Chains A and B, each alone.
Chain A
Amino acid sequence: MSEEGLSTASLIKRLLLLVVGMFAFGFLLVPIYDVMCQAFGINGKTAGSAWQGQEQAVDMQREVRVQFVSNNAEGMRWSFGPEDNEIVLHPGETRSMNFLAHNPTDRVMVAQAIPSVAPSRAAAFFHKTECFCFTQQVLQPGESVEMPVRFIVDPALPTDVRRLTLAYTLFDVTERMAPSLDLAAVHRN
């Protein structure tokens, strides 16, 4: 009826394009979310690979308490925990902590540790130079392993944060990894 404007066919085409675009946008939200988490430290997410930054001057005036927490996800039967529950450090210095894992079962298992930092706004200032969470761990039946994490707390950490918590949740990913389970190729710490 309307003299100006689009014909019904081209209007439908544009609307369908919008539908397809919004469907794609739903999936685009996944990388957008990851970028936002990185940028703002949402959810205490830390970087998934080693920190490549410059060495920073150690701030000897300041002390920060770093606590270590470990959890097993449902169904994960490994014993898993840090060697020490907490350390006190100066921002800027490189420290490390060993986590111990033991596979008490009678089968080869693959695990993935997922880190999280609380308070979440401190996550962006917590740099890991080495972490067992960057790869999967494969343990033979009854095997134990010592897994180090090396990290630097950025001197730019907001001054009101005096204590931060690094929490690992250990997931059993044996089934997920089973098809591609090439034990020798998986990096072991």
Chain B
Amino acid sequence: MSAVIDNHHADHAHGPAKGLMRWVLTTNHKDIGSMYLWFSFAMFLLGGTMAMVIRAELFQPGLQLVQPELFNQMTTMHGLIMVFGAVMPAFVGLANWMVPLMIGAPDMALPRMNNFSFWLLPAAFGLLVSTLFMEGGGPNFGWTFYAPLSTTYGPESTTFFIFAIHLAGISSIMGAINIIATILNMRAPGMTLMKMPMFVWTWLITAFLLIAVMPVLAGVVTMMLMDIHFGTSFFNAAGGGDPVLFQHVFWFFGHPEVYIMILPAFGAVSMIIPAFARKPLFGYTSMVYATGAIAFLSFAVWAHHMFTVGIPLTGELFFMYATMLIAVPTGVKVFNWATTMFRGSLSFEAPMLFAVAFVILFTIGGFSGLMLAIAPADFQYHDTYFVVAHFHYVLVPGAIFGIFASAYYWLPKWTGHMYDEVLAKTHFWMSFIGMNLAFFPMHFVGLAGMPRRIPDYNMMFANFNMVSSVGAFMFGATQLLFLFIVIKCIRGGKSAPAKPWDGAEGLEWTVPSPAPYHTFTTPPEVK
């Protein structure tokens, strides 16, 4: 397809290897990016299936389908798989595909390490999922794996869970190192830092967050391993340790982690909205600084997850105000997106629909986050469905809509075909309605006191839970439509021009669609 382009340096350019070994041995950033995206989608469906089990059980009060033991494993594995298996690898996949194209680099800086960091993931998640079939079952202590639930009272398979987290962590760290090296050292001549596309900027900052906190996660699971097998007492009060320490160390990782999952989506949306508003991004510089400020502040707010464990009043006040401070740079971003759209020549193709829904719904999730940040109010909300509603509002229409928007935006570049716009819009509206039906009622049942992670509930929550379950089934089933749209787009469709979106900007649109196997072997000139 791209023979014309490759001809004049035929001695150098070659296509992909044939057969299965192409995928095992590839060092090509596009191949690896595709594998990351497929892997994350498979994990999305697996984690989604677990969510369907949860919602089916919660369709009615009482225990119908699953026993509490399995229910606990489902909530735990759903969280772990979605966070570490679906959202994070999807963004790494997007970075693999798009960062070299956006900065005019021929490939990632460390292609062999790139291959290794991808292939660690199937090992990690194979290990994690296999625990479900072991005696005693898989992890059942919640995705936050608080000690002593995960140490003294954890199932036998916890050790496998620990190694799975280690492998996924090593994969993330190597991916982050690779992305930083690519962005800092492989930019085309003339591409200064402040000319980089927002997606590249947000990923640079995300990669630093990953390097800063994934080792802390590795540390905390290592401490668990030592407590379980080597007789140490990091989290065991009998030996002088403290289970609350676990929560501090975990959330020192955990809070930056939630920004790791949202910052790349911020970046993608900051590119998609200008393209469909046909206006440059409003306040590029402030976007960069706001991203940096969010990342910086994310290290000083972790204890807002643990207001109720007993921290001094001054501590609660500090973490409450620090948390609220994050609303400032986030507000800067939301206002910039709104201002970019203001008086633009808007059109609403699927990427734009997902991006606009992202801005609105993520803001709702942000506001419920502000409510949770109020320490005295949090004593009421803590561990209720209000928290579940909050983080699903920032993760589903936040991270996942950001990924869908990116996928539709760049699918023509990846496949060389336009996706089916009617089906894509159907996918959007079904997802939008399904997701709001599923998660909005959780605010109400949460405020009324329904606890999270419990397979049964009071009769008075029955109607809202039924609505939630119907919405969740709708959202879940719709994702099979997305799979169909992507396969259809790969197999054929209207062929895409090099730049299918007339308002789009960036180096990735200067190469033909589909992007040739090797791009920018001679760096482009950036003015």
Stretch at the interface among A4-12, A56-64, A78-86: A4-12
Q: Please, how many angstroms separate the alpha-carbon atoms of A15 and B248 in the complex?
A: 25
A23–B180 contact, CB under 8 A?
A: no
A38 within 8 A of B: no
Interface size class of A (residues with CB under 8 A): 35 or more
Chain A residues within an 8 Å CB radius of B249: 26, 29-30
A112 within 8 A of B: yes
Question: Number of B residues contacting the other chain (C-beta, 8 Å)?
Answer: 42
Chain A residues within an 8 Å CB radius of B240: 48, 114
Chain A residues within an 8 Å CB radius of B184: 2, 5-6, 11
A22–B188 contact, CB under 8 A?
A: no
Which residues A13-34 have CB closer than 8 A to chain B? 15-16, 18-23, 25-27, 29-30, 33
A1–B186 contact, CB under 8 A?
A: yes
Q: Report if A22-B213 is in contact (Cβ < 8 Å); known contacts: A8-B181, A114-B237.
A: yes
A20–B181 contact, CB under 8 A?
A: no
A23 in complex: contacting residue of B187, B216, B234, B310, CB < 8 Å = B216
Question: Which 8 A-B residue pairs are closest in the complex by CB-CB distance?
Answer: A26-B219, A171-B238, A23-B215, A22-B215, A26-B216, A15-B177, A114-B237, A33-B245
A40–B218 contact, CB under 8 A?
A: no
Interface bits B245-283 vs A (CB < 8 Å: 1, else 0): 100110010000000000000000000000000000000
Interface bits A154-186 vs B (CB < 8 Å: 1, else 0): 000000000000000101110010000000000
B109 within 8 A of A: yes
Chain B nearest CB, measured from A33 CB (Å) = 5
A22–B212 contact, CB under 8 A?
A: yes
A102 within 8 A of B: no
B189 in complex: contacting residue of A1, A30, A44, CB < 8 Å = A1
Q: Which of A22, A29, A41, A42 has the most CB of B within 10 A?
A: A22
B173 in complex: contacting residue of A19, A33, A42, A169, CB < 8 Å = A19
Q: Please, how many angstroms separate the alpha-carbon atoms of A176 and B241 in the complex?
A: 14
Chain A residues within an 8 Å CB radius of B181: 8, 11-12, 15
B231–A176 contact, CB under 8 A?
A: yes
Chain B residues within an 8 Å CB radius of A37: 242
Q: Please, how many angstroms separate the alpha-carbon atoms of A121 and B313 in the complex?
A: 9
Residue of A nearest to B185 (CB): A8
List, sorted by A's number, 16 A–B pairs whose CB atoms are closer than 8 Å: A1-B187, A1-B188, A1-B189, A2-B185, A5-B184, A8-B181, A19-B177, A23-B216, A23-B218, A25-B215, A26-B223, A26-B249, A40-B312, A48-B240, A112-B238, A114-B240
